Copies of this chain bind each other. A is one copy, B any other.
Amino acid sequence: MATAARIELAIEGALTAHLSEDCPPRLAAAVRYAVSPGGARIRPRLCCAVAAACAADNPHIVDAAAVSIELLHCASLVHDDLPCFDNADLRRGKPTVHIAFDERLALLCGDELIVMAFEVLAAGAGSSPERLQALMRVVGRSVGAPNGIIAGQAYECEPGVDLRAYQQAKTGALFAAATEAGAAAAGEPASAWRQLGSRLGEAYQVADDLLDVCGHVGDIGKPTGQDRLHDRPSAVQALGFDGAMSRLATLIDNACESIPDCVGREPLARLVRAEADQLESRLRRLRAAA
């Protein structure tokens, strides 16, 4: 089965398992709404790509790792969109959870997604408890303090922020978890794969900053110009458009160079470059149209 379809199936399986009939219906609806239809599912795809490059032997564990990372990503979007942070009305082209439901359900929806992520890991790694422990370590670290995405978001509550530390925690951490979890799900040492995820996470954050200045809401499904509006640190603000584009290219090069030796090293590097090329073309097109 193609990776994208497999990921959707695994996500649907997790939702069905947890949002059963005896779940409060509005909570169930809010969680489904936050997760499906999704965005590019870039983190779970990356996780599956690394697992494949490592010749993973157990697809259930890989699926569990990929789904858990996507659920944590969705949780962070729902909570970051809340009025106390971004106060965003639109996400993935539709009203944010607190607009479509209410603030209470958005709060609980994010909480539920975090818990579900760990439950999915525990259930999926059932046949291999020692892999469960490695996955829990990798995934937990990427979300929690001191360096995970929650800490990344918390930098917005600090008076002075180092752009690199902020972006590394806010975006890089979950990308690093995606590559590390892909390896851990295959029973390989995770840490060798950290660099690839971190670089791709940085690249993704730079791309997101670029989209924020040159995209339109209709192109990217969420309001643009938010970094300037909220006075948030941004690669474009720091480096200019061309500087940020050049930084993006360097990060993709570094990412590909960092891929550890494994049976699927070359196909994985080609996949990363193909996705990056698509993204760069899209950014140049949007910039030209702006």
- Interface positions of A (Cβ within 8 A of B): 18-28, 31, 75, 79, 82, 84-85, 102-105, 107-108, 110-112, 114-116, 118-119, 121-123, 125-126, 129-130, 132-133, 136-137, 140-141, 143-148, 150-151, 153-158
Given A84-B102, A126-B133, A129-B130, CB of A27 within 8 Å of CB of B119:
no
Q: In the bound complex, do residue A150 and residue B84 qualify as a contact, i.e. CB atoms below 8 Å apart?
A: no
Give the distance to chain B from A34, nearest Cβ to Cβ, in Å.
13
Task: Flag if A140 contacts B154 (CB, 8 Å).
Answer: no
Tell which of B105, B121, B158 touches A26, judged by Cβ atoms closer than 8 Å: B158
Given A107-B82, A140-B115, check contact A26 B157 (CB 8 Å).
yes
Q: From residue A152, how far is it (CB to closest CB) to chain B in Å?
A: 9
Closest CB pairs A-B (n = 3) = A129-B129, A23-B146, A122-B136
B102 and A150 contacting across the interface, CB-CB below 8 Å = no
Contact B151 A24 (CB under 8 A): yes
Cross-chain contact A25 with B115 (CB below 8 angstroms): no
Is there contact, CB below 8 Å, between B115 and A23?
no
Interface of A is mostly: helix
Q: B residues within 8 A CB of A154? A: 23-24, 26-27, 105, 108
* Extra A-B contacts (17), CB below 8 Å, given A20-B146, A112-B145: A18-B145, A22-B146, A23-B147, A24-B146, A24-B154, A27-B151, A27-B154, A31-B145, A75-B111, A85-B104, A108-B157, A115-B143, A118-B118, A119-B141, A119-B144, A121-B136, A129-B130
Contact of B133 with A23 in the complex, beta carbons under 8 Å:
no
Contact indicator B84/A104 (Cβ below 8 Å): yes
Docked Cα-Cα span, A204 to B202, in Å, equals: 48
Contact (Cβ within 8 A) B111 A79 = yes
List residues of chain B with CB within 8 A of the CB of A79: 107-108, 111
Q: Is the CB of B27 within 8 A of A144?
A: no
Tell me which residues across on chain B come within 8 A of A156, comparing CB atoms.
104
A145 pairs with B28, CB closer than 8 A = yes
Q: Are B140 and A122 in contact (CB under 8 A)?
A: yes
A109 to chain B, nearest CB (A): 9
In angstroms, Cα B21 to Cα A136, docked, is: 23
